[in-house]
Amino acid sequence: MTEIKKLTKIVLIVYAIIFFIFGVNLTFLYDMIMNPEGWTNPYFPRMFGGINFVSAIFAILMLRKKEWEEIKLTFAYFIGILISTLLIEISVLSILGSTFGASTIQLGMSTIILEAVLLTLGIVSYIKQRS
C-alpha cells in the first residue's frame, strides 16, 4: 500500500475548491454570472453544477483517506470529468464562438484555461503518485 503524496493532497484541495465554486455558480448564480447570452434552458448547467457539488464532496472525503489505493478510482473520475468538460468547452467555443458575445467568449476561454491547468495538475499528480 502506498501513501498519498503531498502533491496529490494539494491537487485534491484545489479540486474541492474549484468544483465547489463551479457548483455554486452553475446551480445558484447561473442567471447572474454564467449566462451572459440569456439562454433560456438553465437545467443542464444546473445539473452539471450538482455534479460539481458531488465532486467537491468526493474530493473532501478523499482527503481523509491515507492510502493511494483507496482514492485511485475517484481521482481517475476527476481526471475523466475534466477531460470530458474540457473537450465540450473547446468544441462549443470553436463551433459556436462566432455567434457569442465578447463576455461569453472571455468566460469560455477562462474556463478552458482553468480546466486545462487542473487537468495538467491531476495528470502530473497521478503519474508521480504511481511511480
Across-strand partners of 67?
A: 3
Q: What is the pLDDT of residues 21-41, one digit of tens each?
A: 988 888 887 666 656 556 655
Q: What is the pLDDT of residues 41-84, one digit of tens each?
A: 556 777 888 899 999 999 999 999 999 999 999 999 999 999 99
Residue 29 dihedral angles phi and psi, to the nearest 5°? -110, 20
Which residues, other chains included, contact 59 with Cβ-Cβ below 8 Å and sequence gap of 6+?
12, 13, 15, 16, 19, 78
- For the chain, percent of residues with pLDDT exceeding 70: 89
- Domain range list for the chain: 6-130
Burial of residue 35, with CB atoms counted within 10 A of its CB: 0-12 exposed, 13-18 middle, 19 or more buried: middle
123 close to 79: Cβ distance less than 8 angstroms: yes
